[in-house]
């Protein structure tokens, strides 16, 4: 390779109104004989609104590498060594809401009102984009596969800029493709009906003549991926019985968005992978379901709205929880797909996944109680950012969620001290902490009766009975359990779910006698 062959990292292939960013190549090295430039670290976020069913989500085990995935998390079983599960990371101790959970997912603090005319706190993705976005054609890329919930539009956005405004998100993979690869020159009308690769063919051939064998192989893989995405976008937009055919020739030649949700989601995930691969952007978010999502997942055999199913205590029944879990599992399958996709792409002697911090999660834990405690969170990738995967990190004490956001910013080279609810960085992302995951019984877990009230101290856990989701149990030192069977309103107002998995002290009226006594209303509860 000669010095004269070296090209800039920002080189674009251009032709007929199209422009094509390039993946990381050896030919982009700063100088012959010098250390090769290191690829940047990217940040990708996949958001699932409406929380989860906690008993179905929760992992079991005794240590960071000694754990068993729940049936709900099985889509990630094949990627076990590529992911890091987090437990005991909290938003807030108090009440939460759908709008709060959406804004707080990347802001680390709750929403200021339900409408879009209220200034919201800046989100970590936009803070990062503001610092490094000038290095890429797009500062950030925001995507969604859900609509806008008009009664509470704030629930439909997770990215807010420095002026507190919701950042528009795009749901059409074709428009995103055009933003990434189509130029705005005189040939724009023709290029919409022409493959990007065909449009830049001349420059592509010239580049191949300069490239090493290894770079030619990388280019072939990349061009194949672009061609494949183009093909699938064309097929998805031209198939289907409900496609509209204009009676007159329109000026705008873009085909309609694919109505098939699974196809559209996969296309959007491919867009994120291509955007990172080409360094078109280093920050991307994907809102897969907003925090009041009305999507009906009929392709899964489900006829109820996503939001309705999330209220599985008030809408009690095994069917509803089963359907809710099916949706969560499907979202996890899409996350697993993106992990695999990034792992398949070679980059600088490693993989694109190694240079990407990829988070999946929701802004609430319990879908019906709207709990901000112990958020369902998974990280993937980030090897070259120092992250250590293949673990379950269960903190012995609750950690502020803002600390995770600060650590994610640090991973991509951005300092974000004091962001949101943070008190520092989140420990343990880069190394094993060797925490004792067990909760020690000190012999004080007991039950007493006083003033016609039952006073209980012990380890709180939820029922596994899908027909009785308002039931909890408190484990005592003698091995017995005290049942809590109270109305939804009482459990919700006392934030009982906040103490699940912890030693709690509670009191309230009861029925029954001896060890068969059941707390019927929680009057007080605390750690």
Q: What is the CATH number of the domain that holds 303?
A: 3.40.720
Q: What is the extent of the structural domain holding 287?
A: 42-171+257-353+366-411
Q: What is the DSSP letter of 448?
A: E
Domain check: are 395 and 453 in the same one? Answer: no
Q: Do 308 and 384 fall within a single domain? A: yes
465 and 348 housed in the same domain: no
User: Once rounded to an integer, what is the mean pLDDT over residues 292-306?
Assistant: 93
Q: Residue 98 and residue 157: Cα distance in Å, rounded?
A: 11
| Rounded Cα gap, residues 484 and 460, in angstroms | 10
- Cα dist from 323 to 56, 250, 333, 398, whole Å: 12, 42, 15, 30
Residue 12 forms part of a structural domain: no
Rounded CA separation 445/475 (Å) = 7
pLDDT of residue 408: 97
CB under 8 A, 24+ apart: contacts of 273-276: 273/225, 273/338, 273/341, 273/342, 273/345, 273/352, 274/180, 274/225, 274/226, 274/229, 275/138, 275/141, 275/180, 276/42, 276/44, 276/342, 276/352, 276/355, 276/356
DSSP string, 181-231: HB--STTHHHHTTS-HHHHTHHHHHHHHHHS-HHHHHHHHHHHHHHHHHHH
Q: What is the mean pLDDT of residues 93-113?
A: 76
Band (pLDDT 50/70/90 cuts) for residue 479 is very high
Confirm whether 196 is domain-assigned.
Answer: no
> Rounded to the nearest 5 degrees, what angle is found at the Cα of 90, between the Cα atoms of 85 and 92?
165
Q: Are residues 67 and 116 in the same domain?
A: yes
Structure confidence at residue 482 (pLDDT)? 96
The SS3 assignment for 496 reads helix
- The whole-model pTM stands at 0.85
321 and 404 share a domain? yes
pLDDT at 464: 86
Structure-token pair, residue 122: 């800046």
Whether residue 289 is found in the same domain as residue 338: yes
What is the percentage of the chain residues whose pLDDT exceeds 90? 54
Residue 236 lies in a domain: no
403 shares a domain with 337: yes
Residues 347 and 482 in one domain: no
Helix, strand, or coil (residue 78): helix
Distance between CA atoms of residues 355 and 516, nearest Å: 56
Do 121 and 71 sit in the same domain of this protein?
Answer: yes
Q: Is residue 215 part of a domain?
A: no
Confidence at residue 520, expressed as pLDDT on a 0 to 100 scale: 97
**CA–CA separation, 336 vs 390, rounded Å?**
14
Q: Residue 31: is it exposed, middle or buried by C-beta count within 10 angstroms (0-12/13-18/19+)?
A: exposed
190 has a pLDDT exceeding 70: no
Q: What pLDDT shows up at residue 31?
A: 42
Q: Is residue 74 included in any domain, yes or no?
A: yes
Verify that 346 and 400 share a domain, yes or no.
yes
**In the structure, what pLDDT confidence band is assigned to residue 115 with cuts at 50, 70 and 90?**
low
Residue range 398-429, pLDDT digits in tens? 999 999 999 999 999 999 999 988 999 999 99
CATH number at residue 482: 2.40.50.140
Taking the CA atoms of 274, 194, 143 and 417 in sequence, report the sign of the dihedral they define: positive
Cα separation of 512 and 236, whole Å? 61
Tokens of 138: 């797009």
Phi, psi values for residue 338, rounded to 5°: -65, -40
What's the burial of 43, exposed, middle or buried (CB within 10 Å: 0-12/13-18/19+)?
buried
Count of domains forming the chain: 2
Q: What is the pLDDT of residue 75?
A: 98
Q: Taking a C-beta distance cutoff of 8 angstroms, is the pair 362, 50 a contact?
A: yes
Rounded to 10°, the helix 261-277/173-181 angle is 20
Q: Which two tokens stand for residue 43?
A: 């940040």
For 207-248, the pLDDT digits (tens) are 777 777 777 777 777 777 777 777 777 666 544 433 333 333
Quote the pLDDT of residue 191. 47
Buried-exposed string 440-475: b where 16+ CB fall within 10 A, e elsewhere: eeeeebebeeeeebbbbbbbbbbbeebeebbbbbbb
Average pLDDT of the chain to the nearest whole number: 84
Q: What is the pLDDT of residue 298?
A: 92
Shared domain for 281 and 401, answered yes or no, is yes
Verify that 340 and 390 share a domain, yes or no: yes
Q: How confident is the model at residue 257 (pLDDT cuts 50, 70, 90)?
A: very low
Rounded (10°) angle between helices 98-107 and 124-132: 30
Q: Is 359 within a domain?
A: no
Question: 326-353: per-residue pLDDT in tens?
Answer: 999 999 999 999 999 999 998 888 999 9
In a domain, 440, yes or no: no
pLDDT surpasses 70 at 187? no
pLDDT at 392 over 50: yes
Residue 366 DSSP symbol:
B
């Amino acid at each position: 390779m000669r010095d004269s062959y070296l090209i800039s990292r920002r080189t674009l292939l251009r032709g007929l109104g199209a422009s094509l960013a390039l993946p990381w190549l050896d030919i982009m090295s700063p100088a012959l004989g010098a250390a090769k430039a290191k690829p940047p670290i990217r940040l990708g976020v996949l958001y699932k609104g409406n929380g989860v069913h906690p008993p179905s989500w929760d992992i079991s085990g005794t240590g960071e590498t000694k754990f068993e995935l729940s049936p709900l998390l099985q889509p990630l079983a094949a990627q076990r060594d590529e992911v890091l599960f987090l437990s005991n990371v909290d938003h807030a101790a108090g009440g939460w809401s759908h709008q709060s959970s959406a804004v707080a997912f990347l802001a680390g603090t709750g929403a200021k009102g339900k409408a879009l005319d209220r200034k919201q706190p800046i989100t970590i993705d936009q803070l990062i984009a503001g610092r490094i976005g000038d290095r890429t054609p797009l500062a950030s890329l925001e995507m969604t596969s859900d609509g806008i919930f008009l009664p509470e539009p704030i629930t439909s956005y997770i990215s807010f800029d420095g002026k507190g405004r919701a950042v528009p998100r795009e749901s059409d993979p074709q428009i995103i493709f055009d933003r990434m690869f189509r130029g705005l020159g005189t040939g724009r009308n023709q290029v919409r009906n022409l493959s990007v690769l065909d449009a830049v063919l001349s420059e592509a051939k010239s580049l191949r003549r300069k490239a090493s064998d290894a770079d030619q192989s990388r280019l072939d893989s990349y061009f194949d991926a672009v061609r494949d995405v183009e093909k699938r976008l064309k097929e998805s937009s031209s198939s289907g019985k409900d496609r509209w055919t204009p009676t007159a020739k329109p000026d705008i030649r873009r085909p309609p968005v694919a109505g098939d949700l699974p196809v559209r989601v996969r296309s959007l995930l491919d867009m994120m992978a291509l955007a990172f691969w080409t360094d078109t952007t280093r920050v991307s978010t994907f809102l897969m379901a907003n925090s009041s999502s009305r999507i009906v997942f009929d392709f899964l055999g489900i006829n109820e709205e996503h939001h309705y199913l999330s209220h599985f205590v008030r809408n009690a029944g095994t069917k509803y929880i089963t359907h809710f879990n099916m949706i969560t599992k499907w979202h996890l399958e899409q996350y697993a797909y993106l992990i695999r996709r990034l792992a398949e792409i070679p980059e600088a002697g490693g993989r694109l996944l190694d240079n990407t911090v990829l988070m999946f999660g929701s802004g609430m834990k319990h879908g019906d109680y709207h709990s901000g405690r112990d958020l369902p969170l998974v990280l993937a990738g980030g090897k070259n950012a120092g992250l250590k995967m293949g673990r379950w990190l269960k903190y012995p004490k609750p950690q502020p969620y803002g600390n995770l956001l600060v650590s994610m910013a640090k991973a991509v080279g951005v300092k974000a001290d004091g962001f949101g609810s943070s008190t520092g960085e989140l420990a343990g992302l880069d190394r094993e902490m060797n925490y004792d995951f067990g909760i020690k019984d000190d012999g004080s877990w007991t039950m007493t009766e006083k003033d016609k009230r039952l006073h209980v101290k012990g380890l709180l856990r939820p029922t596994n009975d899908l027909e009785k989701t308002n039931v909890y149990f408190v484990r005592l030192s003698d091995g017995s359990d005290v049942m809590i069977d109270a109305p939804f309103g009482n459990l919700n107002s006392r934030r009982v779910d906040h103490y699940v998995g912890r030693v709690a002290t509670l009191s309230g009226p009861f029925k029954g006698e001896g060890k068969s006594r059941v707390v019927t209303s929680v009057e007080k509860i605390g750690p």
